[in-house]
Structure 1
Amino acid sequence: MRLKNNTVLITGGSSGVGLELAQRLIQLNNKVLICGSSLQKLERAKAQMPSIDYLACDLSQEEGPSQLFDWVKEKHAACNILVNNAAITHTLDFHATANILEVAKKEIQVNLMAPIALTKLFTPLIEQNPNPAVINITSGLVYSPRAAYPFYSATKAALHSFTQVLRIQSSKRSLEVIEILLPVVNTPWHKGNPPKIAIPVEKAVEGMLEGLRKGQTEIKVAGVKILYALSRVAPSFALKKINNLS
């Protein structure tokens, strides 16, 4: 994929991996757009990167994807790359949480339904522009789920499956469909208590960019390569191993 002279929309671009990716893409002479649910974080990102444009948008609401698309279509019709990066998770006990179905619906909406809706909305727009691409950010947990997260692994596994199908169905189109599978990354997502195996956000994004430079369409970053191999040859051991990590 061409890494320069694009107009890139990154959902969840105000912190963590999305913010670091935005910074790196700007350095490569791209126009970067970001969205997020926190106006304060978006304004802070704008202060760091004056060239970006942003929209405060809640993708947990069904109308969120349409609001985001309408803004991009009106203000940045040259957009040619969509990065579905926004995601949420909850560390909860399924049996002990009274409102667990509400939690599930919100997580499924942000992590799965929003990327699907955005892909449907944006495809006609980005295909009008040179080098159109959809990049979905998933996780190594698509191979072996972590029990602490009752829904996160499932939503990422579903997005992984959708991305594979979308790539096949897009094979005769100009649209490039890319998936980036991340390991545990040290971001604000962990609220100051990241697992010991978490890699720095800079290393995660460099792994992403390296895969993109090589033209890979399914990019396994860092330890995801090991987890994938392990899940193929010894799935029960991989599941046990991922749930014993601290």
Structure 2
Amino acid sequence: MASAQVDRLGAMHTTGNTVFIPGATSGIGLALALRLQAEGNTVIVGGRRTELLERITAEHPGIHVVRIDTTDPDSIRTAAQQVLAEHPDLDVLVPMAGIMRIEDWTSPDGFLASAEETVNTNLLGPIRLIAAFIEHLRTRPDATIMTVSSGLAFAPLRVTPSYNATKAAIHMLSESLRLQLAGTGVRVVELEPPSVRTDLLPGQRDSQSAMPLQAFVDEVFDIIATRPDVTEIQVENVKFLRYGEARGDYDDVVATLNSLDPHGAAS
């Protein structure tokens, strides 16, 4: 992310920012948090599990933590008040929390609870987080909201319909907010991960068809450093899914995607 020529992350400087990443106690979120800290930013990690937050502060001195349950509106409001009281210079929000569940919509009782939980976490959570911070961010001279969608926002994995739908919604939300916030000091950047070796699904961390986590983070920061005005952060591995419809091979993309094991397609 550091560069002699470029010192911005979207509308955000690569150093000297104050960044809040709810849902960053593991996986992509934690890896991004650690890289941002290494680049000289103040980073606040949010999560539900106190033991994970305590481990992060013990293992990574300088990282700030706050307890937050992004499925609970009251918890979001409380955490937002704490973050802004302790870090009034906050200028970057990365709503990272997300879950992925395999669902069988052919079974009468096999999907509804999972679908509702997924929508609450993956869609309502980011909406409520943005609502909690948008007025503050608009007071900052340079601010960024980095949303997190997925390659599966653009091509569906058969076994995860609710996840696909929520990530497609995040993509369109990002597009819409970018239009509404044009001309303000708030930039909307969308991160679109491919399958990455994390614990999003059981066994995904060991999947050979998923992208190594550090390689993903390195490529993300390289894109940011070399393309400071990027609105969609796309590593090479996600472009097969992202541009199937534009290339005219969408049906082939969907068929190939669904011939893989779920761990190789998750993101």
Q: Find 1:225's aligned residue among 239, 242, 245.
A: 239
> Could you say which residue in structure 1 is the equivalent of 2:158?
147
Q: Find 1:206's aligned residue among 209, 218, 223.
A: 218
> Could you say which residue in structure 2 is the equivalent of 1:10?
21
Post-superposition Cα deviations, 1:203-229, rounded to whole Å, max 9, x if no partner, equal 111222222222111111231112223
Post-superposition Cα deviations, 1:45-87, rounded to whole Å, max 9, x if no partner, equal 1122111111122112232321221121221111100001110
Moved more, 161-170 or 53-62: 53-62
CA distance in 1, matches of 2:149, 2:16: 25
RMSD after superposition? 1.6
Q: Kindly state the Cα deviation for residue 94 of structure 1 after the two structures are TM-superposed.
A: 2.0
Q: What stretches of structure 1 of length at least 5 have no aligned partner?
A: none
Q: Kindly state the Cα deviation for residue 231 of structure 1 after the two structures are TM-superposed.
A: 3.1
For 1:182, what is the secondary structure of its paired residue? coil
**Which amino acid is the alignment partner of residue 226 of structure 1?**
F
Q: Kindly state the Cα deviation for residue 97 of structure 1 after the two structures are TM-superposed.
A: 5.9
* Corresponding position: 1:65 with 2:55: no
Post-superposition Cα deviations, 1:76-104, rounded to whole Å, max 9, x if no partner, equal 11110000111011112123262632222
> Could you say which residue in structure 2 is the equivalent of 1:121?
132
Q: Is the 8 A contact 1:180 1:221 kept in 2?
A: no
Moved more, 101-110 or 161-170: 101-110
> Could you say which residue in structure 2 is the equivalent of 1:238?
253
CA distance in 1, matches of 2:75, 2:212: 30
> Could you say which residue in structure 1 is the equivalent of 2:91?
80
Q: Kindly state the Cα deviation for residue 230 of structure 1 after the two structures are TM-superposed.
A: 2.5
Go from structure 1 to structure 2 and tell me whether the alpha carbon gap of 1:124 and 1:240 turns closer, same or farther (over 3 Å shift): same
CA distance in 1, matches of 2:75, 2:236: 32
- TM-score (norm. length: structure 1): 0.94
CA distance in 2, matches of 1:236, 1:226: 12
* Corresponding position: 1:33 with 2:47: no
**Which amino acid is the alignment partner of residue 72 of structure 2?**
Q
For 1:94, what is the secondary structure of its paired residue? coil
**Which amino acid is the alignment partner of residue 239 of structure 1?**
V
Moved more, 104-113 or 56-65: 56-65
**Which amino acid is the alignment partner of residue 134 of structure 2?**
T
Aligned residues: 246
CA distance in 1, matches of 2:123, 2:215: 25
**Which amino acid is the alignment partner of residue 212 of structure 1?**
I
Q: Is the 8 A contact 2:19 2:43 kept in 1?
A: yes
Q: Is the 8 A contact 1:8 1:83 kept in 2?
A: yes
Q: Is the 8 A contact 1:62 1:109 kept in 2?
A: no
Q: Is the 8 A contact 2:103 2:110 kept in 1?
A: no
- TM-score (norm. length: structure 2): 0.87
Q: Is the 8 A contact 1:11 1:34 kept in 2?
A: yes
CA distance in 1, matches of 2:140, 2:179: 21
Q: Kindly state the Cα deviation for residue 242 of structure 1 after the two structures are TM-superposed.
A: 0.9
For 1:177, what is the secondary structure of its paired residue? strand
Q: Is the 8 A contact 2:71 2:124 kept in 1?
A: no
For 1:29, what is the secondary structure of its paired residue? coil
